[in-house]
Amino acid sequence: MPNTTGSAHPDQASAAAVPQRIVAAWASHDAKKFAAIFTEKCTMILPETFKKGREAVEEFMTEAFAGPYKGTRVTGEPISVEFLSPDSAVLVTAGGILLPGEKEVSTERSIRATWVVVKEGTRWQLAAYQNTPVN
């Protein structure tokens, strides 16, 4: 992942791994595992969706994995990482949702996402997530 701060942060790999943890949880369609990556007081903003708190994220994803996201995968490629402090960073990714059988994200599902990650103890967690369609 590109580092826009100029020098490598000792936790850069761990902080930058948060999106891949989301990808893995999505691949298993495990809403509990997905929500566990978020902080307790997190925020998740998607087009037409605002969720506040880990429990709300889990409830939303439970319904989504049983409905519109059933059988889908998600992908994201890092664009940048910027550490705001030793225990917080902003990541930006490009990606989107892959429907069953797709290998590339379609233009209509292509997004850019902003991830605010924070270190809680020894683990990096997702405090805020927001995505915007590219088109």
pLDDT, position 135: 81
Q: What angle is formed at CA 21 by the lines to CA 16 and CA 25, rounded to 5 degrees?
A: 160
The 3-state DSSP class for residue 134 equals coil
pLDDT digits (tens, 9 = 90+) for 74-101: 999 889 999 999 999 999 999 999 999 9
Answer whether residue 51 shows pLDDT above 80: yes
DSSP codes, 75-132: EEEEEEEEEEETTEEEEEEEEEEE-TT-SS--GGGEEEEEEEEEEETTEEEEEEEEEE
Structure tokens given for 91: 């990541």
pLDDT at residue 50 greater than cutoff 60: yes
Q: Residue 74 has which token pair?
A: 């998600």
CA-to-CA distance for 99 and 106, rounded, in angstroms? 9
pTM over 0.95: no
